[in-house]
Chain A
């Protein structure tokens, strides 16, 4: 069985949903090992062990986890060499892709991003042109490095708890790297991360600055709140909530679009959602062309009515 290295580029105290998806995929392709770009406490190590990880590689100097890209990429390359892995899986967040990119140069290995499935022969299925094409790609040189989109794989349940062996690897210091000199945390919303959310309620120009009815429905459905560029540019919601060509690309189970016309730039970020519901006053909005269920109407009456009905049915 080939050794499959799962790279945790931004490790938390325990396994994140995306980590469990990657570990599940790794288990179908071969024997999983992990490399954690920072420090790993017992809860994280036990989590890795419960997904069959036999060995966990850690940087000898955990501060590599605090550096920008170059240090983590150097660590990934060293962990691949130390483990003899024949394929690398990691997330598809921007930083993960950049680490993959630099490690690819170091290892003289091809990188494929936006992967949604990996076959036994390591052919990767990826989405292209914001989901309007699907392509089959192969890494032809080196050790395949595959950046896998969240929600592509159903994470298996953890198996028996086990503690993997830990191996520290020395990482050569990058010649020149940028340093993080300050960090300001944003207030936590308590809602799931947009990229990983199973339900997203998104608003656009029609929201006119009032996201309250969207937040209410999102919270009832355990979802995240997103927005079109028109809404983020207007300053009604944070830029990080933007879905579209220049924002996030999402594929939730349910995408509820409210007051968004659905121009190309927005469609690019959400057209691979499993079910799309759209509410817009304008019957000619392009979003209705891709909606599974569309309502021509006022979001300020439709959304609260739906929220109330959901509460009633659950009571």
Chain B
């Protein structure tokens, strides 16, 4: 790959600590918030981190002055998402934590993250996963782009950077149902990536040991110039008034094929008026 003729890339990767989707997940408490025990680094954020690491490696690595910072916001244990990112290869970690953040919806979350990134940056590239695996709204990356006035390239299934005199340009591929698109923009930009973009690496022993020596900063709202009522329940534009688990599906009939299962299947469909 070419030596980078431009200054090093400053990349932020947003990571989130989410309830493990392999287990039952719950909303609880008086304000129907997410139960966050049994949490892990959101699987979808690993693709964003891997994409950042690969871009850096393709363009001269740390030696070229590139830097990947893993950023999260959330209660104390959320820092483990950043630690996992440091083990995978991020150079630096930042954890925004404050009791006032609890209950933030997408608008309050994007406000907090925008203030955090402005405080830490400027960044050439902000990378995120395609959605969190808990809230699943996919709103935060777009709102962050709007607040930071960045072009957004979401759901990238492939990503390339090219260094030119005028600065870095980014090319991405997005795969839709009916067509595949090529998207281009100049940096700075916000990019979200899908789970098709790469195969995230596992942290190896060396990476786990090295992570312990990497800088990891903890910031509070006052550090980034936000008031408590701009985030959390108070700063949110939506509220959850009630939540209940969907009644479990009752188990139906299970038959073993004795040569006529196809016919019995059609009988069942006819009985349900589905033919």
Contact = CB atoms under 8 A, between A and B. Distances in A.
Contacts of A127: 246
Contacts of A254: 269, 272, 274
Given A110-B238, A179-B185, A293-B268, A185 B153 contact: no
B257 A101 contact: no
Given A245-B21, A302-B265, A140 B27 contact: no
Interface stretch (A30-38, A57-65, A92-100, A157-165): A92-100
Given A111-B238, A295-B257, A297-B257, A179 B265 contact: no
Interface in A246-286: 246, 253-254, 264-265, 268, 271-272, 275-277, 279, 283
Nearest to A297: B257
Contacts of A315: none
Given A179-B184, A239-B196, A295-B255, A104 B149 contact: no
A305 B275 CA distance: 15
Contacts of A181: 171, 182-184
Interface in A177-216: 177-186, 188, 193-194, 199
B24 interface: yes
Nearest to B150: A176
Contacts of B251: 288-291
A76 to B, nearest CB: 12
A140 B238 contact: yes
Interface string A221-245: 1000000000000000001100001
Interface residues of B, number: 85
B5 to A, nearest CB: 22
Interface in B48-100: none
B125 to A, nearest CB: 13
Nearest to B250: A292
B245 interface: yes
Contacts of A104: 107, 139, 143, 237
Nearest to B186: A176
Contact of A183 (B27, B107, B181, B262): B181
A246 B260 CA distance: 36
Interface in A115-143: 123, 127-142
24 contacts: A97-B139, A100-B139, A101-B106, A101-B139, A101-B140, A102-B145, A105-B110, A106-B146, A108-B237, A138-B239, A176-B150, A176-B186, A177-B185, A181-B171, A183-B182, A184-B180, A264-B21, A264-B22, A277-B268, A283-B254, A294-B253, A294-B255, A301-B261, A309-B263
Interface of A: 68-70, 73, 94, 97-102, 104-106, 108-114, 123, 127-142, 174-186, 188, 193-194, 199, 221, 239-240, 245-246, 253-254, 264-265, 268, 271-272, 275-277, 279, 283, 288-298, 301-310, 313
Counting from the closest, the 8 A-B pairs by CB-CB distance are A305-B262, A297-B257, A110-B237, A101-B142, A294-B254, A182-B182, A292-B252, A178-B185
